[in-house]
Amino acid sequence: MPSLKDLRNRITSVKATQKITKAMQMVAAAKLRRAQMAAENGRPYAEKMAAVLGNLAGNLVGGVGAPRLLSGTGQDRVHLLVVCTGDRGLAGAFNSSIARLARDHANRLMAEGKTVKIITVGKKGLDVLRRQFREQIIASRDIRGNRPVDYEFAAEIADDILSRFEAGEFDVATLFYAEFRSVISQIPTAQKIIPAELPQAQTKGAGADAALEFEPDEESILDALLPKNLTVQIFRALLENAASEQGARMSAMDSATRNAGEMIKKQTLIYNRTRQAMITKELIEIISGAEAL
């Protein structure tokens, strides 16, 4: 049985941990407000751009003249997985769920005899995936410390992907991230970005039957907008990840704080019982000694 001193040290240690987890919860809650607002503000732009591109692509008869970013290479042999996670842990299952989705996708592709290449964004994704896919990881990027996610960072990632695509290094690219739903719900998501998956052209609603003319032609507009759309989709994924990470960390630290409180109660109860038993034992010894005299 541990001594009273050991129990006191244990209770003190748990109380110190509880203070840390509570502080981390409050910090995550403060960061979550900004990250959630940024993610929600980024969704309409990304969705509207995809809709515009979908309408443009729908006007191409049989896909003739479509850019390679839209039509693909015509092959399905080499797949590039862009896995976006965080740089830090203590966020529950946020990082592991994204990495697990990417790992299952990679294993399925490799079982079909296809080649898999991986680019990781965030240290935690790299740490998980390199245990099994060390040879498949061709590049990795860290999230820039405490700096907020910015468009320039997404553009750097997009430029790297585009240069590899133009060099013929892969045929299909898939983006992995966590879509933010709420503080307790972050959905691991896989989105094909090359060739771009665009919504179908609108066929209903006001103005659907109007004849539209584009200047310049659809092919030229798609050539200009598809690379930008790639950057926008990556930027949206990074914003969704930032909000999801803070939400997951807030939930994890809240659970840790409550668990620490329960542990303190249990250890305090054990401490009081042990102390009471020692006092009772000492009283019995005193009384026994007095009766012996």
Parse the chain into domains and list their residue ranges.
Answer: 38-200+214-252
120 forms bridges with which residues in the sheet? Answer: 83, 140
pLDDT at residue 55, as a whole number = 79
Q: What is the pLDDT of residues 237-260, one digit of tens each?
A: 999 999 999 999 999 999 999 999
More confident residue, 167 or 216: 167
Tokens of 223: 């050539």
At residue 54's C-alpha, the angle toward residues 51 and 60, to 5°, is 155
Q: What is the pLDDT of residues 92-144, one digit of tens each?
A: 899 999 999 999 999 999 999 999 999 999 899 999 999 999 999 999 988 86
Q: Is the pLDDT of residue 60 over 80?
A: no
Confidence of residue 177 (pLDDT cuts 50, 70, 90): very high
Confidence of residue 73 (pLDDT cuts 50, 70, 90): confident
Confidence of residue 212 (pLDDT cuts 50, 70, 90): low
pLDDT at residue 223, as a whole number = 83
pTM: 0.84
Confidence of residue 199 (pLDDT cuts 50, 70, 90): confident
CATH number of 38-200+214-252: 3.40.1380.10
Confidence of residue 14 (pLDDT cuts 50, 70, 90): very high
pLDDT at residue 204, as a whole number = 44
Confidence of residue 70 (pLDDT cuts 50, 70, 90): confident
pLDDT at residue 164, as a whole number = 94
117 forms bridges with which residues in the sheet? Answer: 80
Which one of the listed residues 84, 172, 230, 248 is annotated catalytic?
Answer: 84
84 catalytic? Reply is yes
pLDDT at residue 88, as a whole number = 87
Q: Of 100-104, 143-147, 287-291, give the lowest mean pLDDT range.
A: 143-147
Q: What is the pLDDT of residues 19-53, one digit of tens each?
A: 999 999 999 999 998 899 999 988 898 888 888 88
Q: Is the pLDDT of residue 154 over 50?
A: yes
Q: Which residues contact 156 (CB under 8 A, 6 or more apart)?
A: 141
137 forms bridges with which residues in the sheet? Answer: 118
